[in-house]
């Protein structure tokens, strides 16, 4: 199950180290937001897969909508002379660390027998956090 993503990661890292691609500095903000939106979507998809409620439609729509919203926010900020992209970076950063924490807890509850199992209330709160 994990072999294809790991192979893709290795191939991407090798290609990235071999190919020299320079991004113009004017696009650096947009690229950083795109990377964060992608990481957020991948970690959210991983979390939902571990929880047993994965949907590829939700993953793809979240990736596209998050990236577009963040890019529009960054563009408007550039036009207004305000660093609005910082708001997107903060939000994506918080969501990434929240998903990582939830994934860690879910994996420990699944594979470590002595780890306390989450109660139904905690599971419902995790779902509510995602839907916010």
Is residue 6, in this structure, part of any structural domain at all?
A: no
CA distance 30 to 59: 20
The domain in which residue 37 lies consists of 25-131
Is residue 11, in this structure, part of any structural domain at all?
A: no
Is residue 3, in this structure, part of any structural domain at all?
A: no
What is each CA distance from 97 to 18, 37, 43, in whole angstroms?
Answer: 30, 13, 9
- Percent of the chain with pLDDT strictly greater than 90: 17
- Angle, nearest 10°, between helix axes 28-51 and 56-80? 150
Is residue 51, in this structure, part of any structural domain at all?
A: yes
Is residue 99, in this structure, part of any structural domain at all?
A: yes
Q: Taking the complete model, does pTM exceed 0.85, yes or no?
A: no
Is residue 18, in this structure, part of any structural domain at all?
A: no
Is residue 7, in this structure, part of any structural domain at all?
A: no
Helix (H), strand (E) at residue 62:
helix 56-80
pLDDT at 132: 52
Please state the domain count of the chain: 1
Per-residue pLDDT of 43-102, as tens digits, reads 999 899 888 888 989 989 988 888 888 888 888 888 998 888 888 889 899 999 999 999
Is residue 66, in this structure, part of any structural domain at all?
A: yes
Residue 55: both structure tokens together: 């949907």
CA distance 122 to 3: 31
CA distance 128 to 107: 20
pLDDT at 100: 92
- Cα–Cα nearest to 29, from 102, 107, 89: 89
């Amino acid at each position: 199950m994990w072999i294809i993503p790991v192979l893709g990661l290795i191939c991407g890292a090798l290609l990235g180290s071999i190919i020299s691609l320079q991004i113009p500095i004017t696009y650096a903000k947009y690229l950083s937001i795109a990377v964060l939106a992608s990481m957020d979507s991948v970690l959210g998809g991983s979390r939902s897969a571990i929880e047993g409620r994965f949907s590829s439609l939700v993953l793809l729509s979240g990736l596209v909508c998050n990236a577009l919203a963040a890019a529009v926010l960054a563009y408007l900020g550039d036009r207004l002379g305000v660093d609005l992209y910082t708001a997107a970076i903060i939000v994506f950063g918080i969501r990434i660390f929240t998903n990582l924490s939830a994934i860690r807890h879910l994996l420990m509850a699944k594979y470590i027998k002595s780890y306390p199992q989450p109660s139904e209330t905690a599971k419902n709160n995790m779902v509510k956090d995602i839907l916010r």
